[in-house]
Structure 1
Amino acid sequence: MIETKSITKTVNTSEGSLQILQPISFEVKAGESIAIVGASGSGKSTLLGLLAGLDEVSTGEIYLDGQGLHTMDEEQRAQLRGDKVGFIFQSFMLVQSLTALENIMLPAEINGLDKPKQRALEILEQVGLGHRAHHYPNQLSGGEQQRVAIARAFITQPKILFADEPTGNLDAANSDKIEALLFDLNQQNKTTLVLVTHDNELAAKCQRQLNMHAGELTETTVDSVTTTVDVESQREAS
C-alpha cells in the first residue's frame, strides 16, 4: 500500500541547507496499523506529510497504492489524496464557520460522492456525535472536535488514514475514546492506518512501530520483536 525508496527531505535555512530526513526506505502493507514514534524534531511529522503527499521529497521515491507521489505535481497529489487518503491533524483543522455536519460533508462534496449529508449523519452517529451535528467547532470540546475530524477523514472511505498526534491535545479520558474509535474504524473498514505519536501506549496498540531519531529510521518493532534497520544500507541505496 505504501512504499518508500531512499526518501530524503532537505530545506534551505539562513545558515544553509538542513537535511531533516536521512535516506529512508520501508513498506506498509494494506490494512496494517503503523506508529511512527520519536522525540520532537526527529522528523516524524515531516515523514508523515511526505507520505500523505502534503509535501514533496527532496530525493527518493514514494508509492501510494502503486502510484508514484514523487512524479506528481501538487494538483495530481491533491487528486490522489481526495481519492485514497484521509488525514487527521493534531490541531483538528476544522472550518470554524461550518457546523460539525458541514465539516464532515465537505470532503464528500468536493469528491462528488452521492448523498453527502446522509453519509455525514451516519458517520456522526458512529463517532457518538449525532446530537452535535449542528454545533460549530467553538461549541465543541477538544475530544468532540477530534471525533469530528476523524469522521471527516473517514467519510470518503479512504484506503489510507494518516493521523498526526491524534491524542496530543486531549486529556486521558478523551484519548482513550479517540484511540478506540481509530482502531475500530480501521478494522471495520480495513483501512491502512499510519499515525505519529509521542504516546508509547498508543504506539504499542499498532501492529508495527517505526522509530525516528534525528531524521533516521533506526528500528522497526513487529509484534513485539525488534529488528534494527540497516541505516548505512539505506544511505548507500540513495
Structure 2
Amino acid sequence: MTQHGKTDSSSSISARQVTKTVTTGEGKLQILQPISFEVMAGESIAIVGASGSGKSTLLGLLAGLDETSSGEIWLEGSPLHNLDEEARARLRGEKVGFIFQSFMLVQSLTALENVMLPAQIAGLSDPKGRAEQILDQVGLSHRAHHYPNQLSGGEQQRVAIARAFIGQPKILFADEPTGNLDAANSGKVEQLLFDLNKQNGTTLVLVTHDDELAARCQRQLRMHAGELSEVALKEAS
C-alpha cells in the first residue's frame, strides 16, 4: 500500500478492516470480523469455508453488491467504500464480472442476447459480434439462439461465464460457480474459468466448496465465523 490512502498500483483489490453487521430480531449480528487482505492484479484466489462462515457476504462486498459496515475496499484503485449505489454500479460495469451459482440468466432472452446484454448496457461497440465471439470461445455457438430453459445446467453456466467476460473485466468474482453442476460439467466450467482468466489476465476471486477447484487457485483463504485466514500458498512450478 502507498501513502495518502491509496493502494499499491499492483493491487487489484485491497480490503482494510472491513466488517459487516446486520440487525436481527435478537439484536445486532456481526457477520464479518475486521478483515484485511490484498489481491494482486491477475491473481487467482479461492475463498473457502463452511456454509454461514461469511464467504458470500465478503464476495458481495468486494464486488460492490453490498455496503460495508466499516472499513475500506479499494477496487482497481477506486474507493468502493466511498461510492453510492449508482457509482458502484458504474464501476462494476467498467471493471467487474460476476458469476452466480444459480446462473441468473434472463429467461426471456436467448443465450446470445443474454451475453450481449452487459455490452449493450455499457455502450460497447458491436455487442453482437463480441457475444458471438465469446460464445464460440465457450463452445456454444450452436446454442446461441436457444433460451435458458432449453439449455442444460452446464450450458447455462457457460453462457453466464461468457456474459461475465464480454466486457473484458479486470476482476471476475464467482460465487460457487460449479455448485449446481455434475462432475463432467464442473470440470468443463472450471477449465473454462482458468483458461479465460489466463487469456485475459483477469483477477479471479471465487467462493467454493470444491477442494479441487480451490487447489487450482494461486492462493486459498479460509473463512471461519466471520474471520479470514490464509490456508495455502501454491508452490511455484
Q: TM over 0.5: same fold?
A: yes
| Match in the other structure for 2:24 | 13
Inter-CA distance 224–217: structure 2 relative to 1 (3 Å threshold): farther
User: Per the alignment, in what secondary structure is the counterpart of residue 206 of structure 2?
Assistant: strand
* Cα drift, residue 223 of structure 1: 1.6
* Cα drift, residue 220 of structure 1: 3.6
Amino acid at match of 2:190: E
**148, 155, 159: which one aligns with 2:170:** 159
Q: How many Å separate the matches in 2 of 1:80 and 1:25?
A: 21
* Cα drift, residue 224 of structure 1: 5.1
| Match in the other structure for 2:93 | 82
- Asked if 1:93 corresponds to 2:104, the answer is yes
Map 1:137-156; keep pairs closer than 5 Å.
137-156=148-167
- Asked if 1:58 corresponds to 2:69, the answer is yes
- Asked if 1:113 corresponds to 2:124, the answer is yes
| Match in the other structure for 1:47 | 58
Q: How many Å separate the matches in 1 of 2:70 and 2:233?
A: 27
- Asked if 1:191 corresponds to 2:191, the answer is no
Unaligned stretches of 5+ residues in structure 2: 1-11
Percent identity between matched residues is 79
Q: How many Å separate the matches in 1 of 2:235 and 2:53?
A: 22
- Runs of 4+ in structure 1 deviating by more than 2 angstroms, as ranges, are none
Q: How many Å separate the matches in 2 of 1:187 and 1:145?
A: 22
Amino acid at match of 2:69: S
Amino acid at match of 1:92: F
> TM-score by structure 1 length?
0.93
| Match in the other structure for 2:227 | 216
RMSD: 0.9
Q: For residues 7-54 of structure 1, what are the alpha-carbon distances to aligned partners after superposition, in whole Å with 9 as ceiling and x for unaligned?
A: 000000000000000000000000000000000000000000000000
Amino acid at match of 1:191: T
Q: How many Å separate the matches in 2 of 1:13 and 1:42?
A: 17
Q: How many Å separate the matches in 1 of 2:97 and 2:120?
A: 15
| Match in the other structure for 1:33 | 44
Q: How many Å separate the matches in 2 of 1:24 and 1:4?
A: 7
Unaligned stretches of 5+ residues in structure 1: 226-238
Q: How many Å separate the matches in 1 of 2:78 and 2:21?
A: 23
| Match in the other structure for 2:216 | 205
Q: How many Å separate the matches in 1 of 2:41 and 2:154?
A: 28
* Cα drift, residue 60 of structure 1: 0.2
> TM-score by structure 2 length?
0.94
| Match in the other structure for 1:169 | 180
Amino acid at match of 2:122: N
Q: Give the total of aligned pairs.
A: 225
* Cα drift, residue 133 of structure 1: 0.3
